[in-house]
């Protein structure tokens, strides 16, 4: 799950940070197979599942990034065999939805990877990624509220992170609230993250979309 932290950046900037996965000696080992790449792609959010007004920005494998975080559990023993990520933007509001799915070689790897990653330290990474996203988007922002939650319950393991920030243009002007909701969950040997960003209020219909991805995990 740690590799999905930079998804937060994709909520603000596309490219160069969209769908970036941090790389390092503590990251999971990748041995990708065609079958599991197909499983990951099938489980991710698709344009046909969203209402009118949403457009697809990206669908494919994550790119590498130099994004780093002080929360860095050693996940190198766990093997990823499939991955896929998608990014969507709402034309009118500028809201974004990002989904990422990782398939592991077995249930044990997926479960232990999730257990090692779903920690309070992960929230600090998300806060940092959010602030970096503001800077990349030439915005001035401060995080006014954030929390880690074990609800809603999704799959065999799940955790959610919620952040609220106050944002304005770098040159000043009106200030608006930006809402982030980051849902991570594991079912079988697959993990998924579905993240939402929107100004003024949270993205509506999150539960239905998240449960749709949950039902497709294997």
Confidence of residue 145 (pLDDT cuts 50, 70, 90): very high
Inter-residue contact 8 to 123 (CB < 8 Å): no
What pTM does this model have? 0.86
Q: What's the mean pLDDT in 132-160?
A: 90
Full set of structural domains in the chain with CATH = 2-216 (3.40.1000)
Q: pLDDT digit string (tens) for 2-17?
A: 444 444 444 544 332 2
Q: pLDDT digit string (tens) for 114-129?
A: 999 888 988 888 888 8
Strands, E assignment, the chain: 20-22, 29-30, 54-60, 63-65, 79-90, 96-104, 139-149, 157-169, 172-187, 190-199
Inter-residue contact 124 to 70 (CB < 8 Å): yes
Confidence of residue 67 (pLDDT cuts 50, 70, 90): low
Give the pLDDT score at 137.
Answer: 78
Tokens of 131: 């602030």
């Amino acid at each position: 799950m740690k590799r999905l932290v930079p998804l937060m950046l994709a909520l603000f900037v596309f490219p160069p940070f969209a769908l970036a996965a941090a790389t390092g000696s503590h990251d999971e080992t990748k041995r990708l197979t065609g079958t599991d790449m197909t499983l990951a792609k099938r489980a991710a959010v698709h344009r046909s599942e969203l209402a009118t007004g949403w457009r697809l920005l990206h669908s494919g494998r994550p790119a590498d990034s130099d994004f780093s975080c002080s929360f860095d559990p050693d996940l190198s023993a766990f093997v990823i065999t499939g991955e896929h990520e998608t990014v969507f933007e709402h034309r009118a509001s500028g809201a974004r939805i990002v989904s990422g799915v990782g398939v592991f070689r077995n249930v044990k790897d997926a479960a232990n990877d999730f257990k090692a990653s779903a920690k309070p330290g992960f929230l600090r990474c998300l806060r940092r990624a959010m602030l970096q996203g503001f800077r990349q988007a030439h915005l001035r922002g401060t995080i006014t509220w954030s929390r880690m939650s074990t609800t809603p319950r999704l799959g065999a393991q799940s955790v959610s992170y919620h952040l609220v920030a106050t944002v304005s243009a770098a040159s000043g002007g009106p200030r608006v609230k930006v809402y982030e909701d980051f849902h991570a969950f594991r079912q079988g040997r697959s993990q998924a993250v579905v993240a939402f960003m929107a100004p003024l209020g949270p993205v509506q219909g999150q539960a239905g979309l998240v449960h749709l991805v949950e039902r497709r995990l294997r």
